[in-house]
Amino acid sequence: MRLENSWLLAIKALKKNKLQTLLTMTGMTIGVATVLIMIALGSGAQTAIQDQVRSAGMNLIVVKAGNYAAKQDKPADEAIEYSAFHPRKRHGSLLSAVYSPSRGAHLMRVFHPEDDPMAIHDHPVARQRLGDSEAGLGAAATLTLGDADEIRKMDGVQYVSEGIHENAHVAAGNTRWFTRMHGSDVSQPLIRRSWTFSHGRYFDKGEQKKSENVMVLGQIVSQKLFGDANPVGKTVTIWNQSFKVVGEITSTNWMVQPAAGDDQFDAIYMPVTTVQKLLNLSKLNDITITTKSTGDVTPVSKAVTKLLRVRHQITNTSPDDFTVTSEARKALQGGGMRPDVSAAVTGNVSGLEKVTLSQLGKTLDRASETMTALLTSIAAVSLLVGGIGIMNIMLLSVSQRAKEIGIRRAIGARSRDVLTQFILEAVTLSLAGGLAGVAIGALVSNFISGILKWSTTISLPAVMISFGVSAAIGIFFGYYPARQAAAVLPIQSLKQE
């Protein structure tokens, strides 16, 4: 007999005893739902912990233009721009002692490039322009949109946001407020995981591409300019230019409350391209990078340094013209260690912060894995109970239906036809119960995450495992009763009821 016919028989048999079927299924449903909810809660907790690690900035790398730490005894050879001598331009020229490897020490007239404010600088390498003033130059303009795009393509990089920061007067009508202006990438809200939008949204890719005059307000700025009203759609002016407000951000983290002057919520956000246009800039102040995992921080930091040195044409003997910092490195350096010692440690023991971070991450992961395992094993017990319920009912069913089995055998059913039918009945029970369990589990998980604000994840593997386990339980607990059924002799059909 074909399997589909056996299945039809099994379903018909189950339909004949609806209440019994329903109750047995309920046992299975509860089991599967519990497993699913427990897995969801466990992995939800795991995600929550990882989120917290990330929102603590553990996977954050910031590349700043300029290098405060670089120490130089003398300007690099190529640092100074030797300007052509212009006899007519007497002013501004000066006689200096200059050393150059080719000519030795000599006197010549030079311009320092920064001396002439009207000079047009067209140098491929920032250091040529910066000259001997490069060390510790915070406003150094060494990072470009191109640098950021190259970093985006690197392995292990999650999000990249270009940054330009300036102070600005913002105005709405007669209300004015002096605040921080940030140019950023659309991915900024994903990097700042503790942000939430109290109104509207962040600017989008299209707006960034076209450098449109759009703006997202921090909650403090929004309050100062518009009170408690929804600022979305309103207009804010900066230097007589109008910007449309598209959103308002606030904090989700109770530890970080918006406050005046906090640089995050007392701030406005615009596409980096818009800010470049507004300020007539082509460079960036910094690039913020997040890595996919905390363990990627060190390799990505190194790769970024290497990439930027190549892109900025920095020779082996010269220091970086940018500074790569990670929260992890900062945490290590801020630990009361003497700066030179910590510099030596972080400089010489490569990947030290990775060790501590990955250890921290592993410890947290292990803790939540243990929790998930515990919850799942509790749930597995209820699944086992469901399975035993099925076995119990199937055994009862075999003895109740001995005559029916006998009739089928007398008519020509082989003992394996009977075996198949009973196994399929058990599997149908457990699968239908399991399916209902998946639905209920998903609903309850959603409910829990909605009410308790506890993130739960129903993953496809979890659903598939629950389903597979219920089928396996059906076969496992259905096999013995089915064997009993198959062993019923055809002569049973002749017994009187």
Partner 1 sequence: MASVISIRNLGKTYQMGDIAVHALRSVSLEIEQGEFVSVVGPSGSGKSTLMHILGCLDQPTKGEYFLNGRNVSDLSDDEVSRVRNQQIGFVFQGFNLLTRTSALENVELPLLYNPGKEISSGERHRRAMDALAAVGLKGREHHHPNQLSGGQQQRVAIARALLNHPTLLLADEPTGNLDSRTSIEVMNIFQKLKEERGITIVLITHEHEVAAYGSRIVTCRDGSILSDLPTESRRLAHGELAEMQVPTGDMA
Give the pair of three-digit tokens for residue 228.
Answer: 């408690």
At 204, the amino acid letter reads D
- Toward partner 1, which CB reaches closer, 1 or 344? 1
- Select the residue interacting with partner 1 from 225, 404, 432, 433 (CB under 8 A): 404
Q: Is 5 in the site for partner 1 (CB under 8 A)?
A: yes
3-class secondary-structure state, position 400:
helix
Of 194-202, 258-266, 294-302, 402-410, the segment contacting partner 1 by CB under 8 A is 402-410
3-class secondary-structure state, position 484:
helix
State the burial class of residue 18 (Cβ atoms within 10 Å of its Cβ: 0-12, 13-18, 19+). Answer: exposed
- Toward partner 1, which CB reaches closer, 129 or 409? 409
3-class secondary-structure state, position 243:
strand
- Select the residue interacting with partner 1 from 237, 293, 342, 415 (CB under 8 A): 415
3-class secondary-structure state, position 215:
strand
State the burial class of residue 245 (Cβ atoms within 10 Å of its Cβ: 0-12, 13-18, 19+). Answer: buried
- State in angstroms the smallest separation of the CB of 463 from partner 1: 33
SS3 sequence, 91-144? CCCEEEEEEECCCEEEEEEECCHHHCCCCCCCCCCHHHHHHHHCECCCCCCCEC
The mark string for 355-394 relative to partner 1 (x by CB under 8 A, - otherwise) is: ----------------------------------------
Q: Is 403 in the site for partner 1 (CB under 8 A)?
A: yes
Query: To the nearest 5 percent, what fractions of the chain are helix, strand and coil?
Result: 55, 20, 30
- Toward partner 1, which CB reaches closer, 132 or 417? 417
- Select the residue interacting with partner 1 from 413, 438, 473, 482 (CB under 8 A): 413
- Select the residue interacting with partner 1 from 22, 70, 125, 410 (CB under 8 A): 410
For residue 280, CA distances in Å to 116, 164, 247, 274 come to 19, 12, 25, 10
Of 69-77, 268-276, 312-320, 405-413, the segment contacting partner 1 by CB under 8 A is 405-413
Q: Is 32 in the site for partner 1 (CB under 8 A)?
A: no
- State in angstroms the smallest separation of the CB of 495 from partner 1: 9
Q: Cα angle vertex 338, ends 334, 341, to 5°?
A: 105
State the burial class of residue 395 (Cβ atoms within 10 Å of its Cβ: 0-12, 13-18, 19+). Answer: middle
Q: Is 123 in the site for partner 1 (CB under 8 A)?
A: no
- State in angstroms the smallest separation of the CB of 12 from partner 1: 8
What is the spatial distance between Cα 157 and Cα 143, in angstroms, rounded to a whole number? 18
Contacts with partner 1 in 463-492 (CB under 8 A)? 489-491
- Select the residue interacting with partner 1 from 417, 439, 454, 475 (CB under 8 A): 417
Q: Is 200 in the site for partner 1 (CB under 8 A)?
A: no
3-class secondary-structure state, position 278:
helix
- Toward partner 1, which CB reaches closer, 9 or 391? 9
- Select the residue interacting with partner 1 from 129, 192, 329, 409 (CB under 8 A): 409
Q: Is 3 in the site for partner 1 (CB under 8 A)?
A: no
Q: Is 416 in the site for partner 1 (CB under 8 A)?
A: yes
What is the spatial distance between Cα 142 and Cα 161, in angstroms, rounded to a whole number? 16
- Toward partner 1, which CB reaches closer, 353 or 425? 425
Where along the sequence are the contacts to partner 1 (CB under 8 A)? 1-2, 5, 9, 12, 16, 403-404, 407-417, 489-491, 493-494, 496-497
